[in-house]
Structure 1
């Protein structure tokens, strides 16, 4: 396993130690009386580790932007409304009287296809981020707050603001851990990263003004320059001031996020303690086919770009600026695997595949089978195909998709997917590294040594990795795209990616395919513990346990439960609507909209709630008001089938204390 350090005690129960559930409810009633509308809480929605509520439902709140009826509100107005509202109800969430509850907002307000506005916030104190505490506020178009979701934590106002340990000392400690040799357990074997020699140290390149002291160091022995800043790290019974670093290795095969103490609480200040170390890179999960299994069919001719009628979803209405855009741009009589959305290159040479444009303006990418050019062409096609599909589901420029130029003027741009096809194996077999909006994502595709099959030729490998970019950007937010850090969150990242990798080709199949990785490992059983059919055996209560030949202590395996539930939801909605095509489209849209509504570091139950709310917002557009009760029942029944019913419980987003539930919500319950 990739090394992971986490000094938090995730079994710490702050709710029990600080105040009980009855006191929580009493405070909610007091706050509700103060704001003069209804606040709905549930002690099962309390993160026991922080002792704060992860979901506050709001009924009867005033329309904060009612005076702008008929006019489009600016993002800044929604942000002001969200911050003011959160401040007014902070006591109902878990902040005690006098405790600081400060938040800064992502300047970009996202929206779902149902019209919900989503403001992403970051808890701060003294101008320093409280790490991992990033709630979202859902608002209707008129500024009415509907819900506050996500994690917050109580941080005492007297925590230190200045580091006792120099950043260089902390950097040396974090770099030493990140430079250690590491074994990556892949699905096709293991890879060994050797130790790095960091004896030359690191030179500071830049620094900026701010209490969090943001700065950048040169890369030294690593692959990229190293950003650094101060954060507060909530650990349960303690809050630590820490230096935050990011270390990149081996073409994105591993990218560590490290938190190193800055407040000098260890006995030996010369060797500060690494409080947290996690690999942020998403590694390969498996593969199916490009469009048909490459073991059975020669590559088929496809246009660049594909016509929108080839996609399984409806063209957006009204049309989006610049969409569909060209995949390639002609320069000096040539086109190459280089465009606005994707830059596909041969990893060893860094070169694109270039072909001539004839007198009629036509060009054909026709590489010889088995060549590097074929690998580059294939991954270029697949990334562009998924780019256009996801745009039509709402992963647009303003929501942080991957493009060099954003034609709408929204979002940042300058962040295509840089896809590298390696001639041989790569660490982890394949990987995807997602950065904040405005910074390019990196995808590496390599050879599976045991079968001599290449992941660039396998549609599901590419789709799976690209979908990590979708979940990291939409849940993580455009500011850092790093909202899947806790164990359940990481597992859902794998589940979301498996879900899209399977359902996209399944839309066109008469018979559902439920096995992942069968082609790439040349084994019909694939790489998962069981097929994703309606007999998949695991459920939410199995998380953290290994019994009966099934191991749910590992991230990828736990992600299977999430994917199985989403697959079941897609089947059941299709059955209720009497149309596979409508069912898939509704399910995909609910999943993408749900990602936008999901706060950072969610549990399965938090993400479940976001999908159910997204479905509620789709009534009247994707399906009729009359159809909604059955669609809702199908979705709830699917989650209940996999232990995520109304009575399911978990104390936080770790693998500790997950309790399955099979009940449907009571009559009158609003999702």
Structure 2
């Protein structure tokens, strides 16, 4: 989701994304890392909880009990490691997902009691290509006392409770059937819950509800909102003020083997394909109006900024631009590891892995909102949904679909929510991890729009608000005078977008350090094999996501980057990374939002 720190902070975000410290006896740091809250329904604040995680990385890797067995699966190896390393019996492990990436294999599990998984007690184990364990994260709990596994509340009543509280509808035809999972609460108790999805398309909400199967109360929620030839804005450009180009055959057939105009079964001549359908309308299931090509798949619509965005030519330009940007990000991130196995968005997964039928549905000029944009990320196998709104600061209004950094910010929410935690969409829900999610989205937009080895300050959202200052509090910069945000800044921040600025600026510093050390590749968007700094940065960006634990913190996200470098580059960039993180207070001993500039002694 987008946030407008200068102009709109109190409008949309006050309704959807409020996170605050209250009287519960947790420190600011622990609450940021374990809690979050949302305003739901008719203005009720609902807290949600995720048990504190432990996280370890192991550099070159350590052996596990099945290391010498050539026939051992990664799933069996993960369980054997957890039993040896943490004393966790295989009887208490529920296998959720696994996949093999470019430099590591990943296994994601939930704690299990009475044969039922605990929704928010999860663990992940990562192995390098030498079959050694390189990362382990866990939020398993003491589950010696749990309620009966036999519900005393009828599932129909649970659905009614969720629909009433969340002002939405559980769609039996499109949503997964309600299931039973335990849920660990922050008072140490465990509740048996029905888990079901509730959505309100008009309001732009989509939740996973946990309703007590004995109490009948809404226990918790997962918020899925984070927040041929084409006339479009080239991906390295930010706004239409940079000028449209005619882009001929920009699809990458290694990432999209049927091209962009095949929906997984049939060829199309509209802004609909295997990776995304871009349309105008408030519903992603009915009333879609896509843009159609002229003969030869030519999508060449001219946008006129002097007239209303609702003019047909402007609507077509918006649909085409979103279609182009989302497909381009699909193709780039595919090359760097966001593939079918890694829970990406495609109708047809070509038998490679993961769940299909989940291309992105992208609604432009959506009438349900103004002055915002957001992305909804349900689990793998369900469509990600992007909502692009009009911005009313100027006259005529401006269209967020025509500012590439807004579109790429939203699409990156889908990437990070799917790749963290094994495709559940549940693992960036705490205040701190939600902030990291916002930071990654800004950092991806920044990466896409750096055009040479001179690392420029980056300003997000200039066009939509008609301001050179954009929509963040500071430009992203290596200069502490231009952007003074540090790790310690998080102690005074309670809103995920503000926290995200701290992380995004750290990643800007990391990017600059890598490009300064290793140079810049002008072909990084199409060729991930180079050794230049911008190539290395995006590899580490994508590699770190599945390595980290569910609901990561600043320190563990940093550790995942260091481990990703060990996996892919043998630690060649370790000291460069440590210096960059430490320069903004995230050094070796950083903890509790207290700055530390220490780097490892061998650096």
Give the alignment's TM-score, normalised by structure 1: 0.72
2:339 aligned to 380, 388, 396, which one?
Answer: 396
Give the conservation status (yes or no) of the 8 Å contact 1:418–1:440.
Answer: yes
Give the conservation status (yes or no) of the 8 Å contact 2:50–2:121.
Answer: no
Give the conservation status (yes or no) of the 8 Å contact 2:181–2:194.
Answer: yes
Report how many aligned residue pairs link the two structures. 535
Give 2:199's aligned residue: 248
Confirm or deny that 1:104 pairs with 2:105.
no
Give the conservation status (yes or no) of the 8 Å contact 2:318–2:401.
Answer: yes
Give the conservation status (yes or no) of the 8 Å contact 1:230–1:241.
Answer: yes
Confirm or deny that 1:540 pairs with 2:487.
yes
Q: 3-state DSSP class of the match of 1:89? A: helix
Give the conservation status (yes or no) of the 8 Å contact 1:516–1:527.
Answer: yes
Residue correspondence of structure 1 range 218-617 to structure 2 within 5 A? 218=172, 227-251=178-202, 253-264=204-215, 272-277=216-221, 279-283=223-227, 291-292=236-237, 294-306=239-251, 323-329=256-262, 335-347=269-281, 349-357=287-295, 362-369=296-303, 370-407=313-350, 409-422=352-365, 424=367, 426=369, 429-451=372-394, 452-478=397-423, 480-508=424-452, 510=454, 512-534=456-478, 535=480, 536-545=483-492, 552-579=493-520, 582-617=532-567
2:155 aligned to 159, 167, 173, which one?
Answer: 167
In 2, the alpha carbon distance for the partners of 1:333 and 1:12 equals 55
In 2, the alpha carbon distance for the partners of 1:171 and 1:606 equals 36
Note the alpha carbon deviations across 1:32-78, whole angstroms, 9 max, x for none.
xxxxxxxxxxxxxxxx995763337496525734343xxxx7xx701
Unaligned runs of 5+ residues in structure 1 are 17-47, 180-195, 197-201, 203-215, 265-271, 309-319, 546-551, 651-657
2:587 aligned to 645, 653, 657, which one?
Answer: 645
Give the conservation status (yes or no) of the 8 Å contact 1:66–1:143.
Answer: no
Confirm or deny that 1:130 pairs with 2:118.
yes
1:659 aligned to 575, 594, 597, which one?
Answer: 594
Q: 3-state DSSP class of the match of 1:533? A: coil
Q: 1:538 to 1:440 in 2, by over 3 A?
A: same
Ranked by relative contact order (alpha carbons within 8 Å, sequence separation 6 or more), the top structure is 2
Root mean square deviation, CA, Å: 3.4
In 1, the alpha carbon distance for the partners of 2:321 and 2:110 equals 39
In 1, the alpha carbon distance for the partners of 2:460 and 2:53 equals 38
Give 1:315's aligned residue: none
Give 1:314's aligned residue: none
Q: CA deviation at 1:84?
A: 1.7
In 2, the alpha carbon distance for the partners of 1:90 and 1:159 equals 25
Q: CA deviation at 1:333?
A: 9.9
Note the alpha carbon deviations across 1:471-518, whole angstroms, 9 max, x for none.
01100313x232111111111110000000111111348561411111
Q: 3-state DSSP class of the match of 1:615? A: helix
Give the alignment's TM-score, normalised by structure 2: 0.80
Q: CA deviation at 1:446?
A: 1.8
Q: 3-state DSSP class of the match of 1:54? A: strand
Q: CA deviation at 1:665?
A: 2.6
Q: 1:143 to 1:608 in 2, by over 3 A?
A: same
Q: CA deviation at 1:584?
A: 1.1
In 2, the alpha carbon distance for the partners of 1:132 and 1:496 equals 23
Q: 3-state DSSP class of the match of 2:134? A: strand
Q: 3-state DSSP class of the match of 2:354? A: coil
Q: 1:251 to 1:445 in 2, by over 3 A?
A: same
Give the conservation status (yes or no) of the 8 Å contact 1:5–1:277.
Answer: no
In 1, the alpha carbon distance for the partners of 2:301 and 2:574 equals 48
Q: CA deviation at 1:531?
A: 1.2
Give 1:147's aligned residue: 135
